Amino acid sequence: MRTISLGRTGEQVSALALGCMLMGTSTDEDTSFGILDRYLGAGGTFLDTADCYAWWTSPDATGGESEALLGRWFARTGRRDEVFLATKGSAWVRDPSAVREGRSAATEQYAGAGGDTLRHALDASLRRLGVDHVDLYYVHVDDLGTPLEETLSALADLVAAGKTRYIGWSNVQTWRLERIRQLCDRNGWPAPVALQQEHSYLRRHPAARTVSVVDDEQLRYLRAHDDLTLVAYSPILKGVYDDPVKRQEHHVMDSYRGADSDARLAVIAKLAADLGVTGSQLALAWVLHQRDPGRVTLIGPRTPAQYDSSMAALAIDLDDSVLAELDAAGA
């Protein structure tokens, strides 16, 4: 398992991180434990979860299931000190049933990034995880309704208290990142060391309004600030590289549809066939090969077969000619 530097922290983390979003809900406990054991057995160290995972998976789910499962796995194995553990706050949904029944949007239910909210949220996460600290704590969804000074001061307190070693941000625009960094510098607060955004081989359509997908501006910003490492979530975009129906119907494509993505999907299909791999594996391998800026690739397998397929991307060596063909594709 290759490792990369996490910003300028001195930490080396797995280039392929294991997302635990569906563990404890869509993925049952025995299967989840098996995947976790196999990931650490393969040299992996970076586990990613959140307090809201995964309320949307069933009528009985409320959030916290993933963290609670990891807590049981830590208790069973005693392997907490072998992993770099990340969780997130601010996207806890207060009334999942209202969202599932269409009476409310999830964004209207988010707990937000108020100071007291984050303090209570991290304490609850630590209880579910059965640990005294996490290594990385993200603001899961950027909260424009709370002053950044309030959020950052609370996060600084959590670092000072030893409840998290580092902080990160997710689903955030570049101008906000710069504002966050300026405030941290001005006030002596710990600055984010990780930026978790949706990132794959397909490029965001210029007209897409989402703040969650990395665009060219954000990549340029990351190149200029090597103290901030990109953690790329949804690198296979729910499997669209191998599923024509999903490419037509899944909402994940809303940010990507257009001639540019059509051209890049065609090249992925051609080269995957030439290399004898799946389109998803090739897309994962492309992200893993990126160095400017360096990035962590985050997978979230639901089944052992999905885990095996994703891990196989580590063994795919893309030579310069293949990378050049992939990078040149587009409208």
DSSP per-residue letters across 48-106: E--TTTTGGGSTT--S-HHHHHHHHHHHHH--GGGSEEEEEES--BS-HHHHHTTSS-H
Amino acid (one-letter) located at 224: A
The SS3 of residue 14 is strand
Q: Are 306 and 251 in contact (CB under 8 A)?
A: no
Q: Which of 63, 45, 46 is nearest to 54 (CA)?
A: 63
Q: What is the pLDDT along the chain (331 residues), one digit of tens a residue?
A: 999 999 999 999 999 999 999 999 999 999 999 999 999 999 999 999 999 999 999 999 999 999 999 999 999 999 999 999 999 999 999 999 999 888 999 989 999 999 999 999 999 999 999 999 999 999 999 999 999 999 999 999 999 999 999 999 999 999 999 999 999 999 999 999 999 999 999 999 999 989 999 999 999 999 999 999 999 999 999 999 999 999 999 999 999 999 999 999 999 999 999 999 999 999 999 999 999 999 999 999 999 999 999 999 999 999 999 999 999 999 8
CA-CA distance, 30 to 315, in Å (whole number)? 27
Written as six digits, the tokens of 37 are 């054991």
Q: Which of 290, 271, 296 is nearest to 281 (CA)?
A: 271
CA-CA distance, 296 to 13, in Å (whole number)? 8
Q: Are 114 and 75 in contact (CB under 8 A)?
A: no
Q: Which residues, including other chains, have CB under 8 Å from residue 314's CB and lie 6 or more apart?
A: 1, 2, 16, 288
The phi-psi region of residue 258 (left if phi > 0; otherwise alpha if psi is between -120 and 50; otherwise beta) is left
The pTM assigned to this predicted structure is 0.96
Give the DSSP H/E element, type plus range, for residue 328.
Answer: helix 320-328
- 119 CB neighbour count, 10 Å cutoff: 17
Q: Which residues, including other chains, have CB under 8 Å from residue 105's CB and lie 6 or more apart?
A: 99
- What the chain holds in terms of domains, given with CATH numbers, is 3-192 (3.20.20.100)
Q: Which of 154, 93, 149 is nearest to 122 (CA)?
A: 154
CA-CA distance, 285 to 46, in Å (whole number)? 18
Residue written as token pair 């095996």: 308
